[in-house]
């Protein structure tokens, strides 16, 4: 497995991975897969924010991706990011998500960020909850029945991890 920054040529694979999750899982609350141009615009927003957007290559193909987004737009949240990690449906269980998340944590800490949040769709999403726990995240809580997808109410699990010095001192 090779983890690297996303390139333009990776976007069709990223869009396909995400489209599968939109159509088949509760890990995202989107109900319509975004078009390639929308995915390109989202990636550009992350790049403009100076945050990492990574892909994992396995045997020459993109098998997963991860990125950090600002948690909220207000200045007081500037040291906090939210992670997103998606793995190709035929590559789940190979450790790709955890490897991507570990690299994302490292890169965000190197940027001086102090907190990372996981907003995980579906309280039954054992793979994502387990990967986050393995990467040092702690359970914060659950927001019950805040989403509705596939004709059912869906919870959101919140997990959190300190980055670098966390809240031990003010950021630079």
Chain segment 130-147, per-residue pLDDT in tens: 999 999 999 999 999 999
Residue 56: Cβ-neighbour burial (10 angstroms; 0-12, 13-18, 19+)? buried
- What is the structure's pLDDT at 14? 98
Q: Would you tell me how many other CB atoms lie within 10 Å of the CB of residue 59?
A: 8
Radius of gyration of the chain (CA): 15
Q: Taking the model in full, what pTM does it have? A: 0.96
Topology of domain 2-162 in CATH is: Aminopeptidase (3.40.630)
In the 3-class helix/strand/coil scheme, how is 104-137 assigned residue by residue? HHHHHHHCCCCEEEEEEECCCCHHHHHHHHHCCC
- Average pLDDT of the segment spanning 76-105: 97
E strand or H helix at 80, and its extent?
strand 80-87
- What is the structure's pLDDT at 170? 87
Handedness of CA 98, 31, 39, 43 (dihedral sign): negative
Task: Convert the pLDDT of each residue in 107-131 to its tens digit.
Answer: 999 999 999 999 999 999 999 999 9
């Amino acid at each position: 497995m090779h983890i690297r920054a996303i390139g333009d040529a990776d976007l069709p694979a990223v869009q396909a991975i995400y489209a599968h999750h939109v159509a088949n899982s509760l890990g995202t609350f989107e109900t319509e897969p975004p078009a390639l141009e929308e995915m390109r615009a989202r990636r550009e927003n992350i790049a403009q924010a100076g945050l990492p957007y990574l892909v994992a290559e396995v045997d020459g193909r993109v098998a997963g991706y991860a990125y950090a987004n600002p948690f909220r737009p207000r200045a007081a949240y500037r040291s906090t990011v939210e992670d997103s990690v998606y793995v190709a449906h035929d590559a789940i269980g190979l450790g790709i998500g955890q490897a991507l998340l570990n690299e994302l944590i490292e890169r965000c800490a190197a940027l001086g960020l102090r907190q990372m949040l996981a907003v995980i769709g579906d309280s039954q999403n054992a793979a994502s909850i387990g990967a986050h726990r393995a990467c040092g995240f702690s359970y914060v809580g659950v927001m019950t029945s805040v989403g509705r997808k596939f004709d059912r109410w869906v919870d959101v699990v919140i997990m959190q991890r300190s980055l670098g010095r966390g809240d031990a001192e003010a950021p630079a």
